[in-house]
Amino acid sequence: MSAVASRLLLGLTLAVGAGATACGGEDDDGPRCTVGSPQYQTDLYFGRNRVGDEPVSEAEFQAFLDASVTPRFQDGLTVYDALGQYELESGELVRELSKVLVLLHDGSAARSADIDTLREEYKRQFRQESVLRIDSQPCVAF
């Protein structure tokens, strides 16, 4: 995914996510929640296009989830399909099937390292330039 695509996805995510929490504002310890409690949320955007090859298949992505993600995030996760798009410097519009992985976690350095390991594994395994990471601290209630 190009830097342009990353900026477009970031803008979309921020626009969609605005006002999505039940927080009453922020203080030095993070959001003050009127409902639930603050947790950390990381959204990862996995592009599926591959140069000179078929896109990453559903089966390949599921195998990646099973082998790499689930063992690290056994408390649960959410995955959904997305369609990203970005414009190349040439003006060509590129549309790309993507998967978005949503993780709620404690925000520790260990969790952050696990997340970065997932990004690196996906890039290496599926020959990707990048995996977009967006971190936020929403209020969460179950």
32 band by pLDDT with thresholds 50, 70 and 90: confident
In a domain, 129, yes or no: yes
For residue 52, being part of any structural domain is answered with yes
Instruction: Name the DSSP class of 36.
Output: S
Task: Tell me the average pLDDT across 96-119.
Answer: 97
The pLDDT tens digits of the residues spanning 70-107 come to: 999 999 999 999 999 989 899 999 999 999 999 999 99
According to the model, what pLDDT value does residue 28 have?
A: 58
Q: What is the pLDDT of residue 80?
A: 98
Q: Which residue has the tokens 């350095």?
A: 109
pLDDT band at 27 (very low <50, low <70, confident <90, very high): low
Chain centroid to CA 18? 16
Does residue 95 form part of some domain?
yes
Residue 12 has pLDDT above 90, yes or no: no
pLDDT score for 15: 38
The residue among 92, 87, 90, 101 whose CA lies nearest residue 47 is: 101
pLDDT at site 25: 55
Q: Average pLDDT, whole number, for the chain?
A: 85
Instruction: Using pLDDT thresholds of 50, 70 and 90, give the confidence band for residue 55.
Output: very high
CA dist 128 and 134 (Å) reads 17
Q: Is residue 99 part of a domain?
A: yes
Domain total in the chain: 1
pLDDT at 4 over 80: no
Residue 15 domain flag: no
User: With pLDDT > 70 as the criterion, what percentage of the chain qualifies?
Assistant: 79
Closest CA to 24 of 142, 138, 118: 138
Range of the domain at 64: 3-9+35-104+117-140
CATH value at residue 74: 3.30.70.120
Is the pLDDT reported for residue 29 higher than 90?
no
CA nearest to 55, candidates 120, 129, 126? 126
In a domain, 128, yes or no: yes
